[in-house]
Structure 1
Amino acid sequence: MITGLDHIQLAAPPGTEDALRAYYVDLLGMTEIPKPPALAARGGCWFEAGTARLHLGIEADFRPAKKAHPGIRVHDIDAFGARLTAAGATVTWDDQLPGHRRCYSVDPVGNRLEFLEPQG
Structure 2
Amino acid sequence: MSFQFTGIHHVQLAAPEGCENTARQFFGELLGWSEVPKPKNLQKRGGVWFQCGAQQVHIGVQQDFIPAKKAHPAFLVEDLDALCRHLDQKNVFIINDEPLPGAKRFYLKDPFGNRLEFLEWE
**Does TM, normalized by the shorter one, top 0.5?**
yes
Q: Report the RMSD for the aligned CA atoms in angstroms.
A: 1.0
Unaligned runs of 5+ in 2: none
Q: Which stretch of the first structure deviates more once superposed, 37-46 or 88-97?
A: 88-97
Match of 1:15 in 2: 18
| Counterpart secondary structure, 2:101 | coil
| Counterpart secondary structure, 1:92 | coil
Identity %, equivalent residues: 48
2:59 corresponds to which of 52, 56, 60: 56
- Within 5 Å, give how 1:1-120 maps onto structure 2: 1-119=4-122
Unaligned runs of 5+ in 1: none
Structure 1 residue 95, shift from structure 2 partner: 4.7
Q: Distance in 2 between matches of 1:49 and 1:88?
A: 22
Q: Distance in 2 between matches of 1:51 and 1:95?
A: 28
Bigger CA radius of gyration: 2
Structure 1 residue 89, shift from structure 2 partner: 1.2
Q: Which amino acid aligns with 1:93?
A: N
Aligned residues: 119
Q: Distance in 1 between matches of 2:52 and 2:8?
A: 14
Cα deviation 1:24-68 (Å, max 9, x = unaligned): 011101000000001111000000122131001001110001001
